């Protein structure tokens, strides 16, 4: 099976983006892996600290390996928004394939120092590190009563020169920038600042770029961002909402108590959303 480095390189060379889908339980894991298998698409399966604390580090690694073997499609397991060195170390040593250190709320120099340490450890294990230096606003939740523009403060967006310095000094492999890409689903579609993304790519021609906040982002912007060099798009809120709303409908509509029967529809609905994203990101068939 290809490594995370090899798949990122493939995405960069062939101009597609890997969907990075958050997984919080066996049902979302099934939905994501089944979508990947149906469309022959490599995927990133990811879990934040909260999601991993629920699932368990070793459990996530074992499940990922079992499903990967079963579907025969590369599944990269990523620690999403790892909060510190210890959290990344725990994931790396448990067998994760990729880690994302979120230093967005840290002082720049502290972030550089921590990211450098994470890169050293991750590279000793042969896995890539994603770094972040500007806090990407919002949260992976339903914000549909809020206007996204209230959180898209351009003064807080990524400065390309600083991004270049951050990457040069830390040696991170993937850079997550803040270009209007909020976390969460809002009243309006989110739009990205494409000219800023272009400038960031010009400063970082040899660094892979990720896009957080994939839910509810204008599809044309996503496609154009991939053309400009985005190789990973994170999606969480749309999956959470699909799961919860469908589960609620099923529970309201029946007295069924067999859990595996109740979960069938939520799994299918999450899978439908994941398949739509995989097609949008141009990843279908890339594991063929």
Residue 218, number of CB atoms within 10 A of its CB: 15
Question: Residue ranges of the alpha helices (H) in 100-152?
Answer: 108-124
- For residue 80, indicate whether it is catalytic: yes
Contacts of 253 (CB under 8 A, 6+ apart): none
183 counts as binding ligand G3H under rule CB under 6 A? yes
Q: Which residue number has the CB closest to Zn ion?
A: 212
The 61-80 site mask, x for binding ligand G3H (CB under 6 A), equals -------------------x
Nearer to ligand G3H, 232 or 286 (CB): 232
Looking at residues 203 to 222 of the shown chain, list those that interact with ligand G3H (rule: CB under 6 A).
Answer: 212-215
| Contact call for residue 33 and ligand G3H (CB under 6 A) | no
Beta carbon of residue 213, minimum distance to ligand G3H (angstroms, whole number): 4
Of 238, 192, 199, 231, nearest to 215 by C-alpha is 238
- Smallest separation, CB 215 to Zn ion (Å): 10
Record the tokens describing residue 222, joined without a space.
């996503």
Does 232 bind ligand G3H (CB under 6 A)? Our answer is no
Q: For ligand G3H, which residue of 128, 184, 229, 266 counts as binding (CB under 6 A)?
A: 184
Using the rule CB under 5 A, give the single segment among 47-55, 144-152, 231-239, 250-258 that binds Zn ion: 231-239
For residue 205, what are the CA distances in angstroms to 9, 18, 200, 228?
A: 13, 19, 8, 11
Q: What one-character-per-residue DSSP string does 59-85 give?
A: HHHHHHHHHHHHHTS-EEEEEEEE-SH
Give the x/- contact pattern for ligand G3H in 124-143, rule: CB under 6 A. Answer: ----------------x---
Instruction: Provide CB contacts within 8 A for 147, sequence distance 6+.
Output: 186, 187, 188
Restricting to residues 88-117, name those near ligand G3H by CB under 6 A: none
Query: What is the DSSP track for 255-284?
Result: ----HHHHTHHHHHHHHHHHHHHHHHTT-T
d(CA 175, CA 194): 16
Selecting among 80, 134, 159, 173, the annotated active-site residue is: 80
- Interaction of residue 212 with Zn ion, rule CB under 5 A: yes
Q: How far is the CB of 23 from ligand G3H (least distance, A)?
A: 11
Catalytic residues: 80
| Residue set of the binding site | 81, 102, 132, 183, 212
């Amino acid at each position: 099976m290809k490594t995370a480095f090899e798949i990122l390189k493939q995405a960069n060379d062939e101009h597609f983006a890997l969907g990075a889908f958050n997984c919080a339980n066996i049902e979302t894991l099934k939905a994501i892996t089944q979508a990947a298998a149906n469309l022959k698409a490599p995927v990133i399966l990811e879990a934040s600290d909260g999601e991993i604390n629920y699932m368990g580090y070793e459990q996530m690694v074992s499940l990922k390996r079992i499903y990967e073997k079963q579907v025969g499609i590369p599944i990269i397991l990523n620690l999403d928004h790892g909060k510190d060195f210890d959290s990344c170390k725990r994931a790396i040593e448990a067998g994760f394939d990729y880690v994302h250190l979120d230093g967005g709320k840290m002082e720049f120099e502290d972030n550089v120092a921590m990211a450098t340490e994470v890169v050293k450890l991750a590279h000793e294990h042969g896995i890539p590190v994603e770094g972040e230096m500007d806090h990407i606003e919002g949260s992976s939740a339903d914000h549909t009563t809020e206007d996204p523009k209230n959180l898209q403060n351009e003064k807080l967006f990524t400065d390309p020169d600083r991004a270049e310095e951050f990457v040069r000094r830390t040696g991170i492999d993937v850079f997550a920038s803040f270009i209007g890409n909020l976390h969460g689903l809002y009243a309006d579609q989110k739009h990205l600042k494409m000219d800023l993304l272009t400038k960031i790519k010009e400063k970082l021609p040899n660094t892979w770029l990720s896009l957080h906040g994939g839910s509810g982002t204008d599809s044309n912007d996503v496609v154009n961002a991939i053309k400009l060099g985005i190789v990973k798009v994170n999606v969480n809120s749309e999956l959470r909402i699909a799961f919860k709303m469908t589960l609620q409908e099923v529970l309201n509509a029946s007295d069924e108590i067999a859990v595996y029967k109740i979960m069938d529809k939520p799994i299918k609905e999450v899978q439908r959303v994941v398949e739509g994203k995989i097609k949008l990101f141009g990843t279908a068939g890339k594991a063929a």
